[in-house]
Structure 1
């Protein structure tokens, strides 16, 4: 298998794992009794919002930097 396919497979499996964990944490876990053993595998519920906001801010910053870089490069080509 080529390196590109392996990287793609790893990224897909990682994304799917994170999505499954987060979905279970946010949607299913509040319906489970708080004294159930499964709660020890998850962070407290307060972190669900904090992690979502942090990821959104990082994504917006990354996209802003990419757009700014493209705008600066296109301005250099015109000059």
Structure 2
């Protein structure tokens, strides 16, 4: 089990590092590269550099709010059963 946890942790770290490097290159370095360079073919348009994190953040906050609401309702129902 410990080896599987280490493998998952290593994979998640490598995946996060890859996304961080890709996004950093896309946002910071790519605007200074000529627009007809072949490297632009590997990246989405610049508008998505803002839209993707915003939508991901909104989705994450929505899921978190639904989870907290669910837990609060469940604990409230549990308190009513005890009394």
In 2, Cα distance between equivalents of 1:20 and 1:67: 33
**CA–CA distance in 1 between the matches of 2:21 and 2:71?**
34
Offset at 1:73?
2.3
Unaligned runs of 5+ in 2: none
Larger radius of gyration: 2
Q: How many residues matched?
A: 79
Residue 76 of structure 1: aligned partner: 77
TM-score (norm 2): 0.83
Matches within 5 A, 1:1-79: 2-79=3-80
TM-score normalised according to structure 1 size: 0.87
Alpha carbon RMSD of aligned pairs, Å?
1.4
